[in-house]
Structure formats: C-alpha cells, structure tokens
Structure 1
Amino acid sequence: MDKINIVAIVGSLRKDSLNLQLAKIAQSYVEGKANFEILNISGVPFFNQDIEYPAPEEVQRIREKVKVADGVWFFAPEYNHFFSGVLKNTIDWLSRPFSEVEGHVLSRKPAAISGITPGLSGTLVAQDHLVTLLSFTNMDVMNRPRLSIAHGMEQVNEDGKLELTASSSYLFKQADAFIDYIKNRK
C-alpha cells in the first residue's frame, strides 16, 4: 500500500499558536509513516454564496488538497467553549459542493481531532461541538482517541516553543491510531 496522505487543518491563524505547534509535532512524528501536510487557511475568505461558483482560488486550493487526502486531522483551539470562527469558515467552504455537479470533499473522509489550550478545560467542549459539525458533513470521525491538552503553557519552553513533555505519548498514540483508522477504511 502506498503511503497515506493526511492533511491537517489548524483552527488558529496565529503564527506561533499552540495548535499549530502541536500539528508540527504530529507532522514530525508521522514522517516516514504517512505524508502529512498542514494546510494554510489564512487566505480563505468569509463564506459567501455570491462568490461560490467559481470558488475563490484559496478555496479551490484547499478543496483539492482535502479531496486527494486519505484523512483530515483537525487541530482545534477553544474560544469561549467553541471552536474558532476561522475553522468554522473553512469547514463551511469545504462542506459546499465542489462544483454544480460534484459533491463536497468532506463526505466519508476520515477525521481526527486534537487541541491544546493554555486554560483549564483543554479543548473538550470545542471538540464536542466540532464532532457535531463534522458528523453533519458526513465525515467519518475517529472519536477515540481524541486529544485535549489543558495547561498547554506548562509544556512550553523558555523560547515559547511547545515541547509536549507530559503529553507526547498521547499525541503519538493518536497519530498511530489515526493512521490505522485510515488504513482499515481503504
């Protein structure tokens, strides 16, 4: 079997966000086991049906990446007990038909969810909301294991870089489980 292709969507635009750093650690871990690309969603415009066909270039770009991916791994921060508007907007675009004759790219696509937050609650509440949305888009969500890391700043070094001292084994377990999850669906 060829290497599987995973795309990651990070629900934060901040250049040093904890969730982006978490995605990069996952990317390093799966190197050699799977192809892993973190999608840049910073140029995705607000969803607007007036510009849906043809979709803006940035939307077409991420749709193509998701379309050929074997799985999508979401790294979701928690804002006010919900996932971010940036992530919701991206999913809104991806959940729309690819064209007037072709369905959307998320349907039946395997999905994994992780998140890290500086606060106490981790990202559990946001993840539950995200599962509801992804299920509505007909994604095949891997509900176990999901990863929610609270007190993320306790795993950041003096340079502000995430080191995952206490949580790395959980991330690696989730990565291996997601790769197996995808392979078992093929």
Structure 2
Amino acid sequence: MKKIKIVAVVGSLRKESYNRQLALAAKEIIGDRADFELLEYQDVPLMNQDIEYPAPEAVKRVRNEVKSADGIWFFIPEYNHFFSGVLKNLIDWLSRPISDQERQVLAGKPAAISGISPSMIGTSIAQDHLVTLISLLNMDVMNVPRLTIPNVMQQLDSDNKLTLKESYPYLEKQVNSFLSFITKRNQ
C-alpha cells in the first residue's frame, strides 16, 4: 500500500513563524504514518500572465509537488482578517491550467486548514476566506475539524518556541481526522 503524501503550505514566509512551527508539530504527530513535507515557495514570482507560459521554474516545481500530494494542509496566519498575500499569490499560480491538456493541480485535492495567531480569535476569519477560495477551485475541504489557535503567546516557551500546551489534543485530533479523510477518498 502506497504511503499517504501530505504537502503542508504555510501562509507565512518567516523562517520561525508560528504557523511553520505548528506545521512541524503536526509532522511530528503524524510520524511515519504519512510522508509530510513543507512546500517551500518563497521563490515563486508574483502572478503575471505575461510570464505564465511557459511557467517559471519555481512555479513548475511547486505545481509538481502539489500534484504528487494526496492531501494539502494549509497552516495560515491572519493578516487584517484575511490570509496572507504570499499564500494568495501561490494559489493564483496553482489555480491556473498547466496547459491546454492539463487542468490546475488543486482540483479534487483533500485539504485541511489550521492556523495560530496572537489574537483572541485566532485565524477563523482568514480560514473562512480561504475555504471560500479553495472551494471555488474544487478542493475537497475537510471542514470538521478545523483548528484555530488563539493567544499564541501563551503557548510559547522562553525561547519563543511553540509548545502547544492545551492545544495539543486538538492538533492530534485534526491529524487523525485528516489522515482518515484522505484515506477514504483514495479508496
């Protein structure tokens, strides 16, 4: 049986972002039950139809990584009640047809959404905006459970590393649910 492959898309490019740390915590919980990799996309240029065909090498690379995945897990911050511009730019590239014969790579892909934020409401508003967009692109969204973790500062150690005190069981539940969600769709 083929091992599930999950590609994690972190909506922040900051090396030590809280959402990157959350993605790595999910990877740790998953362990050897699936292949889990973070999509590196900081080199993807701004979407511009003048350079769409042939697509830049960075775009081809991220498209291939997403195309080969069994599921996409978004870990997003909330910027002004929305998800980040870099994530929107990435999705714009991924939503475009690859060629006349090949559709975009997001359609039909199972998707999970998590987010952590310093605010009291977490990332729920940004997540709702993201669900609207990726549903339009025909992704198969796992709406329950979604994970939004507020007050990140209360879950950091003295070195500003995420410790996920009371939120750990919720991330663990989402990991198990997403693995099951993907497995059911691959049967």
Q: What is the TM-score with the length of structure 2 in the denominator?
A: 0.98
What whole-Å deviation, never above 9, does each CA across 1:14-51 have from its counterpart, x for those lacking one?
A: 11110000001111111211000001111111000111
Q: CA deviation at 1:2?
A: 1.6
Task: Report the equivalent of 2:62.
Answer: 62
| 1:125-136 map, 5 Å | 125-136=125-136
Distance of 2:19 and 2:66 partners within structure 1 = 19
Q: Paired residue for 1:122?
A: 122
2: distance between equivalents of 1:83 and 1:101?
31
User: Deviation digits for residues 70-99 of structure 1, max 9, x if unmatched?
Assistant: 000000100000000011000000000122
The answer for the alignment partner of 2:168 in structure 1 is: 168
How many aligned residue pairs are there? Answer: 186
Q: How far is the alpha carbon of 1:100 from its aligned partner?
A: 2.9
Aligned-partner residue type, residue 53 of structure 1: Y
The answer on 1:113 being equivalent to 2:113 is: yes
C-alpha RMSD over aligned residues: 0.6
Secondary structure in 1 matching 2:77: coil
The TM-score, its normalising length taken from structure 1, stands at 0.98
Describe the superposition over 1:141-186 as per-residue Cα deviations: whole angstroms up to 9, x where unpaired.
0000000000011100000100101101100100110000000001
Instruction: Please give the per-residue CA displacement for 1:49-83, whole angstroms capped at 9, x wherever unaligned.
Output: 11111111111111000001000000010000000
Q: Secondary structure at the match of 1:108?
A: coil
- The question of 1:20 aligning with 2:20 is answered yes
> Letter of the aligned partner of 1:180 in structure 2?
S
Instruction: Provide the rounded CA distance (Å) in 2 between the counterparts of 1:76 and 1:99.
Output: 29
Please show how residues 82-161 of structure 1 align to structure 2 within 5 Å. Answer: 82-161=82-161
Amino acid across the alignment from 1:35: D
What is aligned with 1:45?
A: 45
Task: List structure 1 segments (4+ residues) > 6 angstroms apart after TM superposition.
Answer: none
**Is there any run of 5+ residues in structure 1 with no aligned partner, and where?**
none
CA distance in 2, matches of 1:99, 1:76: 29
Structure 2, gaps ≥5 residues long:
none
Deviation at 1:116, TM superposition (A): 0.2
Alignment partners' CA distance in 1, 2:61 and 2:153: 33
What secondary structure is seen at the aligned counterpart in 2 of 1:132?
Answer: helix
Distance 1:162 1:99 in 2: 41
Measure, in 2, the Cα distance between the counterparts of 1:78 and 1:172: 22
Question: Secondary structure of the residue that 2:157 maps to in structure 1?
Answer: coil
